[in-house]
Amino acid sequence: MQRAGLAGLGSVAVLWMLALASLLALWSGRIGEPGAFGPETARQKQAGFGLGSVAAAPAATSRFPRSPSQAAQKTFRALLTLPGQPTAEPQEQGPGESGQEPPPSPREKKPGAMGGAAAEPLLASSPVRAGIFWSRALEAQVPPGFSAEAAASWLRAAREARVVKLERGGCGRSSNRLARLSDGSRACVRYGINPEQIQGEALSYHLAELLGIQERLPPLALARVDARGGGGGQWAPVRDELRGSHWAEGSVVSLAQWVDNLTDVVAPAPWRAEAAAAGRTRLQPLAAGELRGLSQAQLVELVQWSDLILFDYLTANFDRLVSNLFSLQWDPRVMHRATSNLHRAPNGGLVFLDNEAGLVHGYRLLAMWDKYNEPLLRSVCVFREATAQRVRELHRLRNAAAELHRLYRTREPLAETVGFLSDQQAQLLQDRIDLVHKHILHCKAKAASL
């Protein structure tokens, strides 16, 4: 009897040991599951997203988790003119302040958002050739912009059409208007606070042609406000609206083609993550080695951003990404918000809007803004070869201002009315061309040494 009892106790002990072993096995499996500890694993994955050399801020230095994309739009101009808004994390699925649908996050692109399918395979070949140039295969994937033929057709029509209605809103400052033209098209009419803004916008548009990137800018023409003219005058149908606009009679305004269904654009990860780290503006160079793991859609966007940053440096435009860097001093999340005066067209191509801060106005304020523009230029070490070639020719011939003046007078009937760069500004343009060329050579030498 005693022996049977001991045997029974032994059986129970064995059963308990088996049950305990099962529990331990289950617990070990739970520990090994991806995401078992929730937010921490997701945060680690997010920290690895983007470019390899971009240093993320330590978690303890920020109260906000890093998000790949944010929809709320707040530029330095808006912050200076509007009451402060809370900096709570915006919801990605909601509409932005502009009323437009926010851009999709880099992880979850919508089907066709960049002209492709929802799945975004990596390129089969390297996205960079010769160490510093985007590959031709990648450039071929960049969505088309405003073709030269379509732009010329729109400009002819806009100069001949009559303005039949002026509406407030949708075109920036309260002094600007959305114009409906007699041919059925629409245009943003910008009335500069001072003439140099209209001059700067027109010259920036033609400098973009000189650089071979004009397709990224909406077609732009100048027009003289003449409400007192005869019955055939371009502005005669909107005489009453002009009285309420407080525009000076005879002033020159710009007409830029209106583009439907534009959406906001957040700076790509290289600039977003680096600038967010303790508000730094000393950005890491975007080079070939930092492109591993990026999808085709992200690379296609970076091709366009490399042109944008060179363009904004040459024009000293402070009212785009520079304004976001400036705003870091009071808004640590600003690099996760929409970039000023930059939008995405329905086909995924970027549109460089409202360039009135460039050249004339920007050159006058170099001392204030170049501490932001220069680090942005140094943050790019991969370029479109065609853009680099244009810069090289303008550097070699040292005729940037002369070529710009020639294009301006050829393309714009009101060029002489608005005027051109001063001698000092013309020299500044050449100096900046020379510096960009020197920077490209530096990137080439650095890539060759790797």
- pLDDT digit string (tens) for 209-243? 999 999 999 999 999 998 765 445 889 899 888 88
Residues 199, 281 share a domain: no
Alpha-carbon distance of 131 to 151, in angstroms, equals 34
Residues 301, 427 share a domain: yes
Residues 204, 341 share a domain: no
Residues 321, 341 share a domain: yes
Alpha-carbon distance of 191 to 255, in angstroms, equals 9
Confidence band of 25 (pLDDT split at 50, 70, 90):
very low
Residues 370, 282 share a domain: yes
Please write the tens of the pLDDT for every residue from 253-306.
999 999 999 999 999 887 775 554 444 444 556 777 778 888 999 999 999 999
Q: What tokens does 159 get?
A: 């100069």
- Contact between 289 and 52 (Cβ < 8 Å): yes
Alpha-carbon distance of 112 to 109, in angstroms, equals 8
Residues 180, 203 share a domain: yes
- Please check whether residue 12 lies inside any domain of the structure: no
Q: What tokens does 179 get?
A: 């114009």
What's the distance, CA 216 to chain centroid?
A: 11
Residues 282, 389 share a domain: yes
Single out the residue in 257, 288, 303 at which a domain terminates.
257
Give the amino acid at 405. Answer: H
Find the angle CA(266)-CA(351)-CA(141) to the nearest 5 degrees: 85
Q: Which residue from 293, 447, 315, 331 is spatially nearest to 380, judged by alpha carbons?
A: 447
Average pLDDT score, the chain: 76
Single out the residue in 257, 287, 305 at which a domain terminates.
257
Q: What tokens does 317 get?
A: 């435009």
- Please check whether residue 227 lies inside any domain of the structure: yes
**Reported pTM:** 0.73
Find the angle CA(423)-CA(428)-CA(431) to the nearest 5 degrees: 125
Please write the tens of the pLDDT for every residue from 368-403.
999 999 999 999 999 999 999 999 999 999 999 999
- Please check whether residue 25 lies inside any domain of the structure: no
Residues 295, 441 share a domain: yes
- Please check whether residue 282 lies inside any domain of the structure: yes
Alpha-carbon distance of 72 to 273, in angstroms, equals 17
- Please check whether residue 107 lies inside any domain of the structure: no
Residues 378, 268 share a domain: yes
Residues 440, 303 share a domain: yes
Residues 398, 425 share a domain: yes
The structural domain count of the chain equals 2
Range of the domain at 391: 125-132+262-448
- Please check whether residue 244 lies inside any domain of the structure: yes
Residues 171, 289 share a domain: no
Q: Where is mean pLDDT largest: 166-180, 202-216, 233-247?
A: 202-216
Per-residue pLDDT at 229: 58
Single out the residue in 257, 272, 287 at which a domain terminates.
257
Quick one: average pLDDT of 150-175? 92
Please write the tens of the pLDDT for every residue from 45-104.
222 222 222 222 333 333 223 333 333 334 444 333 333 333 333 333 333 323 223 333
- Contact between 145 and 215 (Cβ < 8 Å): yes
